[in-house]
Amino acid sequence: MLGYYLRLAMSSLRRSPGLTALMIAAVALGIAVCVTSLTVYQGLSGNPIPWKNDLLHAVTIDNWDPQFPARERHPDQPPTQLAWRDAVALLESDIPVRSVVMFKTAGVLATGTAGARPQRALTRVTSADFFAMFDVPFRFGAGWTAAADQGPEPVIVLASAMNERLFGGANSVGRTLRWNDMEFRVVGVLDEWRPLPKFYDLNNGALQEPEEAYIPWGWGLAAELPSAGSWNCWKPEPLASFRDFVQSECVWLQVWVELADAGARQRMQSLLDTYARDQQRAGRLPRPLNNRLTPVDRWLADNDVVGSDDRVLVGLAFAFLAVCLLNTVGLLLARFQRGAVTTGVRRALGASRRQICLQHLTEAGLVCAAGAALGLALAGLLLWGLRLLYATQDGTRDGIQALAHVAPGSITTALALAVLATLVAGLYPSWRIGRSAPAACLQGRPMGFRHTGRRFVP
Amino acid sequence: MNWNLRPILVAIWRSPTGALLVALQVALALAVLVNAAGIVQQRVQKVGRPNGMDTPNQFVVAVSGFTREFDYTAMLATDLAWLRGLPGVVAASVTSAVPLLDSGSSAGIRNAPGLKAGRQANIFEMDEQGLAALGVRLVAGRAFSAEEILPPAQGNQALPQILLTRALARVLFPDGDALGRQVYDPLDRPITVTGIIEHMHGNWVDWDKLDHVAIVPRVPEGPQALYLVRTRAGERDALMRRVEEHMATSDPTRLLLWVRSMSSIERRAYLADRNLAIFLTAVTAALLLVAALGIFGLATYNVAARTRQIGTRRALGARRGDIVRHFLLESSLVTTAGATAGVALALAAGYWLSVTWQLPRPGLLHLSTGVAAVWIIGLLAAWQPARRAAAVPPAVATRTV
């Protein structure tokens, strides 16, 4: 039956190609704009590590000013980063399966090969669990052990792009290079890895690229590495040296823990609270107890990764789709009306209302499917345009550019929108034509329009 | 003139579906148009606001030392002497941050010792050529002299003097002149205000205190250094190339990170705002076009469906003008109904957007302009079908009855 309906629909659509083209164009435009904005939105609001969402938790402790909350826009929340002494104290716990403390610093990498230019490399100073905890893929070698953090050992992991620039993409494990003029040995090279958003460190932009090199946590103190990320201080302290800074209330470290189950979560929470109470007794942490273990999706929400502008664009896209579909409803009504004589014949020959309705719905579905296919292609074009809009002349990369590609999600979106469009735009006209009387159809006025010219006197 | 609406209303009443669909389109289009216009206007103003600097004639050089032999102080002296000696360079200063470039520091400044609440200020460390390199205007006081520039220091070091933007000076000293007064650092040490800058933007373009900037006479900490260079008009690009070549090779103990014009830094800072405005404008325009097509389609359909009536009316003495007026009036009625619903929808959406996302609420001007625009678009879209209706010859009436 569907095959027959499709044949009928095809021949009907071919009869008035102009109207058909207009309908397809309207649906395609609406779907294209929706797919474009939803593709970017999905990229922004997506959880890059959903399979570990319930395991990974950002750790935060409120060590802020007694009179002012750390975050103006979220006064109920603690600062997003930790002070050194809190981070180090918590790292000692064996409740988490894995725990990571980290920050980013500026580095310059040189291979020592004659003629090779040194490379600036933003570097993550992190404890060993980072790679296993965030499921970071390796192309060559592996990360380091907890012992290397203690040493600290001069070992380094390179991102794949940096390995490409320094060693032409070859397996560089075992090679030595100079990081800020200190000798380091390459122990691992990452595979392509670009979590979007960069959930584990949202400071300096949620769409930033991951760092290009990774060195053991111990180097932070050993080489007195300053943070190249964001750091915030509230307490009047001299901060005259690196040691001062480390002992201060300034927050600048990201801490994450992997907790096996709800029990571990509870134990970790009580450990945090106990620690905070001890600190309060010692005269620190003047604010009310506010220690948090935040899973990834909540963390992204708490940090406003999806901005109001992004939501406005999605709303706008759906308003646009609505107008396009309203337009299509009108066009379909006109289209069905034109084919009313055929419909009347079919009704007269015994086709049921339901069958007529389904047949016309098939025609609407065909239009919307074509619209979705064209819309997807158009969305590809729009996303390309978006990448152009976000192109920068200065070599920096905007994260939107990484998101603005036709993704599997965009195709699913287009399919879903096609079904939605068929139902929204096709259901009413199909129902109308289905319930019109056969005789009225044969007269070519199925929608009940009556010629009553007598009232039209000039 | 016959302005009798009754036959038109009857015609719409008889087959309301098409009219209803078009009115809905108009309502949605108007709601989007009005709110989008408000947001676009806000962003255009944001992108276009003056930053106080000599943007077209400035560029920034970032270098970083990375070897053991690297001597930060010596590098600064050599580089700055070289930059200042270049023909075409008006001024060059080392700076801790670049205005409009998303990375810098802020601190609380207080107007009395012992106060808890300070005023957040965006702090720049610069040398004696700082103001000249920024191209900002001093409205009171004086710039730093070379002897006043302090060596690099970490943390909360005591400072003898500070320059404030007028906007910051006003919030610190609402009662009047800030020049010569004292402000206090976090450790309650006094700092004398020695100059007031007319206007200048700081680091974060989305910060509501973007023009709360303070400049202190100190060389920023190494090993990374930023040089802000201001050139004579028209010489920026040539100088940028020359500086890039020199800095890349002149000193092997350091690395040239980048050279960027202030224009490109400004463009980058407002990229998201600019693009939102572009995207909103484009989609709203497309939406109006689709709605116009809807109006056009309905009018065309009505004309086609009533060809015989038109012929009859013409045969009974209606002039072409009467027919055109009839269809334009019919279309306007639909547009007006849609616009009425649209105004309500626009106000509701605007209220929701402003409460939930702090976006600008559409004003009366936006609303009235939007209604007028939708109305004119409606008339234009119905014009051609109405003309076609007027062209129907009276003889049609006699053919198929």
Q: Digits of tens for pLDDT over chain B (401 positions)?
A: 456 778 778 877 877 888 898 899 999 999 999 999 988 999 999 999 999 999 999 999 999 988 878 899 999 999 999 999 999 999 999 999 999 998 888 888 888 887 777 888 999 999 999 999 999 999 999 999 999 999 998 777 889 999 999 999 999 999 888 999 999 988 889 999 999 999 999 999 988 899 999 999 999 988 899 999 999 999 999 999 999 999 998 888 888 999 999 999 999 999 989 999 999 999 999 999 999 988 888 888 888 888 888 888 888 888 888 889 888 988 899 999 999 999 999 999 888 888 887 777 888 888 999 999 999 999 999 999 998 888 888 887 666 54
In a domain, A170, yes or no: yes
Which of A223, A258, A289 is a domain's end point?
A: A289
Chain A CB within 8 Å of residue B15 CB = yes
In a domain, A56, yes or no: no
Contact in structure between B384 and B331 (CB atoms under 8 Å): no
Q: Are residues B225 and B330 in the same domain?
A: no
Q: Are residues A41 and A68 in the same domain?
A: no
Interface probe, candidates A37, A38, A323, chain B, greatest B C-beta count within 10 A: A323
Q: Are residues B220 and B286 in the same domain?
A: no
Q: Are residues A165 and A199 in the same domain?
A: yes
Cα angle, residue A110 at apex, residues A104 and A115 outer, rounded to 5°: 150
How far is the C-alpha of B375 from the C-alpha of A277, rounded, in Å? 67
Could you give the C-alpha distances from A383 to A141, A321, B279, B280, B394, in angstroms and in order? Answer: 37, 17, 11, 15, 53
Q: Are residues A322 and A422 in the same domain?
A: yes
In a domain, B101, yes or no: yes
How far is the C-alpha of B364 from the C-alpha of B358, rounded, in Å? 18
In a domain, A53, yes or no: no
Q: Are residues B207 and B286 in the same domain?
A: no
Q: Determine the structural domain holding residue B142 and report its residue range.
A: 67-252
Residue type, A355: Q
Interface probe, candidates B290, B334, B345, chain A, greatest A C-beta count within 10 A: B290
* Contact (CB<8Å) A392/B353: no
In a domain, A55, yes or no: no
Beta bridge partners of B224: B64
Q: Determine the structural domain holding residue A322 and report its residue range.
A: 2-47+307-448
Chain B residues near residue A391 by CB distance under 8 angstroms: none
What backbone torsions phi and psi does residue A29 show, to the nearest 5 degrees?
A: -60, -50
Q: Are residues A240 and A358 in the same domain?
A: no
Q: Are residues B160 and B304 in the same domain?
A: no
* Contact (CB<8Å) A330/B313: no
* Contact (CB<8Å) A394/B283: no
What backbone torsions phi and psi does residue A375 show, to the nearest 5 degrees?
A: -60, -40
Q: Are residues B211 and B352 in the same domain?
A: no
Buried b / exposed e across A152-177, counting CB within 10 Å, b at 16+?
Answer: bbbbbbbbbbbbebbbeeeebbebeb
Chain A CB within 8 Å of residue B66 CB = yes
Q: Are residues A87 and A6 in the same domain?
A: no
In a domain, B346, yes or no: yes
- Number of structural domains in chain B: 2
In a domain, A52, yes or no: no
* Contact (CB<8Å) B17/A447: yes
Residue type, A189: V
Q: Are residues B114 and B176 in the same domain?
A: yes
Buried b / exposed e across A324-347, counting CB within 10 Å, b at 16+?
Answer: bbbbbbbbbbbbbbebbeebbebb
* Contact (CB<8Å) A323/B25: yes
- Number of structural domains in chain A: 2
Chain A CB within 8 Å of residue B14 CB = yes
Could you give the C-alpha distances from A150 to A8, A146, A176, B306, in angstroms and in order? Answer: 76, 7, 20, 89
Peptide bond into A295 cis (omega under 30): no
Q: Are residues A96 and A148 in the same domain?
A: yes
Residue type, B392: V
Chain A residues near residue B32 by CB distance under 8 angstroms: 316, 319-320
Peptide bond into B223 cis (omega under 30): yes
Write the ipTM: 0.85
Chain A CB within 8 Å of residue B252 CB = no
Chain A CB within 8 Å of residue B291 CB = yes
* Contact (CB<8Å) B156/A448: no
Q: Are residues B132 and B276 in the same domain?
A: no
Chain B residues near residue A242 by CB distance under 8 angstroms: 154
Q: Are residues B244 and B136 in the same domain?
A: yes
Chain A residues near residue B265 by CB distance under 8 angstroms: 394
How far is the C-alpha of B374 from the C-alpha of B340, rounded, in Å? 11
In a domain, A440, yes or no: yes
Which of B220, B252, B284 is a domain's end point?
A: B252
How far is the C-alpha of B315 from the C-alpha of B323, rounded, in Å? 12
Chain A CB within 8 Å of residue B155 CB = yes
Tokens encoding B339 = 């616009």
Contact in structure between A242 and B155 (CB atoms under 8 Å): no
How far is the C-alpha of A146 from the C-alpha of B241, rounded, in Å? 47
Q: Are residues B324 and B209 in the same domain?
A: no
Which of B197, B224, B252 is a domain's end point?
A: B252
